[in-house]
Amino acid sequence: MVIKTAMMGIPVLASRSGFTAWGVEIAQQVGLTLIGRMRGKRFVCLSGDERLLRDADPALVDEESQRSRRKGGRA
């Protein structure tokens, strides 16, 4: 997925799942912003973190409900 995104010239790839170490390495080489493990109000930025503008301090974000943290759960 990272290679396809880079070849198409798309600057950001976001996914609910994680990425392989090779995918992260490729993203860093081509300047792709890579966001993974998106759940509720949380995510992990694996590459291109400097491109993100945050509107909340992560320490102040309320915890999601127990249900939204389950795999396949809905908030």
pLDDT tens track for 36-53: 999 888 899 999 988 888
pLDDT attached to residue 56: 73
In a domain, 63, yes or no: yes
The residue whose two tokens read 């490729």 is: 26
- Whether residue 39 contacts residue 69, with contact meaning beta carbons closer than 8 Å, is answered with yes
In a domain, 16, yes or no: yes
In a domain, 38, yes or no: yes
pLDDT attached to residue 64: 59
Q: Which residue has the higher pLDDT, 21 or 55?
A: 21
In a domain, 74, yes or no: no
**pTM for the whole structure:** 0.70
Domain count, the chain: 1
DSSP letter at 64? P
What is the residue range of 6's domain? 2-69
pLDDT attached to residue 40: 82
In a domain, 75, yes or no: no
Residue 46: CATH number of its domain: 3.40.140.10
